[in-house]
Amino acid sequence: MTEKDLPALNIADLQSLLRRREVSPREVLDALRARIEDVDGEVDAYLSTNFEAATKEAEKANVDLPLGGVPIAIKDIISVAGEPCTCASKILRGYRALYDATVIQKLRAAGAIPFGKTNMDEFAMGSSTENSGVKLTRNPWDLSRVPGGSSGGSAAAVAADAAFGALGTDTGGSIRQPAALSGIVGFKPSYGRVSRFGLVAFASSLDQAGPLTKTVRDAALIMNAIAGHDPQDSTCLNEPVPDYTAALGRDLRGVRLGLPKEYMIEGIEPQVKSAIDAAIAQLETLGAEIVDVSLPQTDYAIAVYYILATAEASANLARFDGVRYGHRAEDPKDLLDHYGRTREEGFGPEVKRRIILGTYVLSSGYYDAYYLRAQKVRELIRQDFAKAFEKVDVLISPTSPVPAFKLGERMDDPLQMYLADIFTSPANLAGICGISVPCGFAETDGHRLPVGLQLLGKAFDEGRILQIAHAYEQSTDWHKTRSPIAASMRDV
């Protein structure tokens, strides 16, 4: 293993080397830094890095801790004390976080080293990272395509071997979908499993932070570190945290996997469909039983999600008023002009669209027709899942109906972009957990574009979906296939 090859390692393998003292945390960090210098000019996954601070951490890292000496990339919506936290928005340009989010404190307590902040759709609103107010991020499998979003920088960094693992956030799919489009693992915990303290809120009843990694085991390792009660977040449940690696390796005999019939929609790209069909067949050979189930409210999920998420966003984003954080309009005539121009200049078009939508659905006269009704249908969606989970342990579907699309291709059609959240956003509405794991490729214009298989589990049953995803992953080679840009860096 040369230093140049270190960034290709997954977290579990990196840890073994670190614990055997075959490499030092400093060497690991230096190798990662060199890799980022080599590839990030093309991929543009990072908004900021701080290797000076990270080096100090690396020099005193305790490699015997669960993530001791492992550098982790952080989506720029999560507060890391002293570092920029811009949510890729012009309105937060220059803002630095004053404290560590709980997930960062927990990562540090486990020995991990946060060293850089990754690009994203502005305030996590989007599915392609093209809504970033800073720059585009490119998909490491085909640089003319999007990495997915909104945690696209985190996904692209891991896929390019420019991060060993990363944190993202998922409000309607933003961990799972970019993981699928970038050919890596993305894990969304159940609502209340991981603290939201120190995350910039998009939609508070839906947001969860979670890992993006090269393997399922790595996702379990990060979950071991970040899950658990936090008195600073009243929505974070006080439930014991199991060792998520403990169930890995068990076989799938007796496991019941549900196939929601409403998810077999026409819009699924044929190559995605065949990859999913093959994955289902593979899960059957591993001993799982496939059961047809129904989620009757599926048709309403996107509408409900985009009513509730925008309503909550319009309230959450009211705090960006130019008084306390970031951008402030120059020479305002009066207070209203100050608010108006600060927000006009600071927010990008998608964020404005959502604030307007959210304000509308909450306004008197429309509240009952939209917001209140959406809340009622949300409860029906939750019941759909509860009923399905009476029959099966886990649900399976594609993560995204399509593989990575071309940069710019969908920017003029927000509705088309929203509709592609059909398989991911219902899980957030129901508060359940989900994972995307690589399950094949779609060949397009001479490029191999990754396809993701989604597994959804009951609330607080994260161990179960990790177990099944791991068994599937280990029976395939998909996770071993690196993106072309990562492979080109190999010192073979």
The contact set with ligand GLN (CB under 6 A) reads 124-127, 150, 170-174, 202, 309, 421
SS3 category, 34: helix
- Tell me if 72 sits within 8 A of 327, measured CB to CB: no
| Minimum CB distance to ligand GLN smaller for 341 or for 378 | 378
The 10 Å CB-count burial string (b at 16+, else e) for 416-437 is ebbebbbbbbbbbbbbbbbbbb
Minimum CB–partner distance for residue 272 and ligand GLN (Å): 17
Comparing CA positions, the residue from 276, 203, 229, 232 lying closest to residue 100 is: 232
Q: Specify burial of residue 286 (Cβ count, 10 A radius: 0-12, 13-18, 19+).
A: middle
Here the tokens at position 187 are 């894990």
Residue from 48, 150, 182, 397 carrying the catalytic annotation: 150
Minimum CB–partner distance for residue 486 and ligand GLN (Å): 25
Here the tokens at position 229 are 């009660």
H or E element at residue 33: helix 25-43
Q: Please, which residues bridge with residue 449 across strands?
A: 442
- In the numeric block, the tokens 């303290």 are attached to 197
Residue from 174, 425, 436, 483 carrying the catalytic annotation: 174
H or E element at residue 418: helix 414-419
* Residues 6+ away with beta carbon under 8 Å from 455: 394, 395, 396, 434, 435, 437, 465, 468, 469
- Name the E strands within 350-485: 394-398, 433-444, 447-457
| Minimum CB distance to ligand GLN smaller for 177 or for 224 | 177
Comparing CA positions, the residue from 41, 28, 35 lying closest to residue 1 is: 28
| Minimum CB distance to ligand GLN smaller for 190 or for 224 | 190
List the end-to-end C-alpha distance of the chain, in Å, as a whole number: 10
Minimum CB–partner distance for residue 125 and ligand GLN (Å): 5
| Minimum CB distance to ligand GLN smaller for 26 or for 352 | 352
Query: In one letter, which amino acid is 132?
Result: S
| Minimum CB distance to ligand GLN smaller for 433 or for 489 | 433
- In the numeric block, the tokens 């980022």 are attached to 36
Minimum CB–partner distance for residue 204 and ligand GLN (Å): 12
| Minimum CB distance to ligand GLN smaller for 272 or for 420 | 420
Minimum CB–partner distance for residue 221 and ligand GLN (Å): 23
Query: Is 150 designated active site?
Result: yes
Here the tokens at position 80 are 């890391």
Minimum CB–partner distance for residue 192 and ligand GLN (Å): 17
Minimum CB–partner distance for residue 172 and ligand GLN (Å): 3
| Minimum CB distance to ligand GLN smaller for 15 or for 128 | 128
Residue from 48, 75, 79, 127 carrying the catalytic annotation: 75
Report the catalytic residues: 75, 150, 174
